[in-house]
Structure 1
């Protein structure tokens, strides 16, 4: 069964002590919006991006998280985790985001997206949730969600099908990349030939395999 978009979420600038931006602002608090939203190569229309050294850009233009994985967090924390609650632009339903292959292409609405890398938890995320140990818990759970490139700009809205139109043969998934970088370094050599990974990630992998980091 083809998955679908449960919600499209955008965030205004939030001023907070935990915000990573040097100006004290973050766009992690994302809320569902009505109607279709234009996804561009540089990001989602109307979505504030703080701390641009580590967020946003073409390789991280869109962040997707599965509502099924958000439901696990809701049970773990004993509180609701609604659409946008993990700072995601796309809340999906019926999509195995962790099992998505790097370079896999999704046709959603009139936009064409490409899976690039997993999300790395940060202190801003921990502050937003009010959980000092969130980075450790998020890492151990290893359900990171996926960043995507926008290969073709277009409009995306709640209810749109998520159609996988291309899947690379290498088979390396979002989950495998996350585990290789954070939990299971023995997996790192598998990542060396994944051309669709962002260059910064590939360089990090090369350094670690060579024993330089």
Structure 2
């Protein structure tokens, strides 16, 4: 199936009350039907509440597969409109098992590159009153992913979306998610991930830390043992 953009969604942060505390969140996105300018850091009309974990050059656009919506409607017991997972781009025909870190796409006038999986945020729990929802996304692998912007430009209402360059390594978002959340001690896998120059810095740091810990444990001098 040829990937197609089915919805473009934006939303500004707003304050809500959660567990007796006021929380600011940009998780609420709504479809828009007009051209928008895509800058290096975000889409026109969009915003993020916590800039330490959302937005920025490596996370300019959050992307989610429309193919997952049927599953979540059954799981959550309610109909969902596009933008339901806080994504800017809802796309059909492109899932985590296919898209690779470093892949470059034409999106309207812009050029974008896959930078990392989406790390499910607790604010999804707020939106759907399900404290386990972020973990459910991790467990299913239906996390979505992010684009960084290589070339700014206008995104029209019905943009061209075309693969320009497939990254030679073939490192799928699914594989990165697996090593992050499930097969956490897959050191050869982590080395493969770290070999990808397009991986976002925040994820690179996380995997480098894991690799360093594994190396320390394998060294008797570091772990308190005695070398032969």
TM-score with structure 2 setting the length? 0.86
Match for residue 59 of structure 2?
60
Match for residue 135 of structure 2?
136
Distance in 1 of aligned mates of 2:72 and 2:151: 32
Q: Report runs of 4+ in structure 1 exceeding 3 Å deviation.
A: none
1:45-124 alignment runs, 5 A limit: 45-124=44-123
- Residues 2, 162 of structure 1: 8 Å contact kept: no
Distance in 2 of aligned mates of 1:49 and 1:11: 8
Distance in 2 of aligned mates of 1:159 and 1:69: 21
Highest Rg: 1 or 2?
2
1:192 to 191, 194, 207: 194
- Paired residue secondary structure (1:211): helix
Distance in 2 of aligned mates of 1:209 and 1:146: 23
Shift of 1:45: 0.7
Distance in 2 of aligned mates of 1:160 and 1:210: 43
Match for residue 170 of structure 1?
169
1:32-51 alignment runs, 5 A limit: 32-51=31-50
- CA deviations 1:92-143 (Å, max 9, x no partner) are 1222344211010110111110000011112112111210111221111111
- Residues 65, 97 of structure 1: 8 Å contact kept: no
Distance in 2 of aligned mates of 1:142 and 1:86: 14
- Residues 3, 161 of structure 1: 8 Å contact kept: no
Give the stretch that moved more between structures: 79-88 or 22-31: 22-31
Q: Structure 1 pair 181/206, CA: closer, same or farther in 2 (3 Å)?
A: same
Segments of structure 1 that go 5 or more residues without pairing to the other structure are: none
Q: Does 1:179 align with 2:178?
A: yes
- Paired residue secondary structure (2:169): coil
Distance in 2 of aligned mates of 1:95 and 1:119: 15
Shift of 1:161: 3.3
Shift of 1:183: 1.0
Aligned residues: 211
Q: Does 1:6 align with 2:6?
A: yes
Distance in 2 of aligned mates of 1:38 and 1:23: 31
Distance in 2 of aligned mates of 1:149 and 1:23: 31
TM-score with structure 1 setting the length? 0.92
- Residues 16, 22 of structure 2: 8 Å contact kept: no
Segments of structure 2 that go 5 or more residues without pairing to the other structure are: 217-228
- CA deviations 1:41-60 (Å, max 9, x no partner) are 01111102111111110000
- When the two chains are superposed, the root-mean-square deviation of aligned CA atoms in Å is 2.0
1:139-154 alignment runs, 5 A limit: 139-154=138-153
Match for residue 206 of structure 1?
208
Structure possessing the higher relative contact order (Cα contacts under 8 Å, 6 or more residues apart): 1
Distance in 1 of aligned mates of 2:17 and 2:7: 28
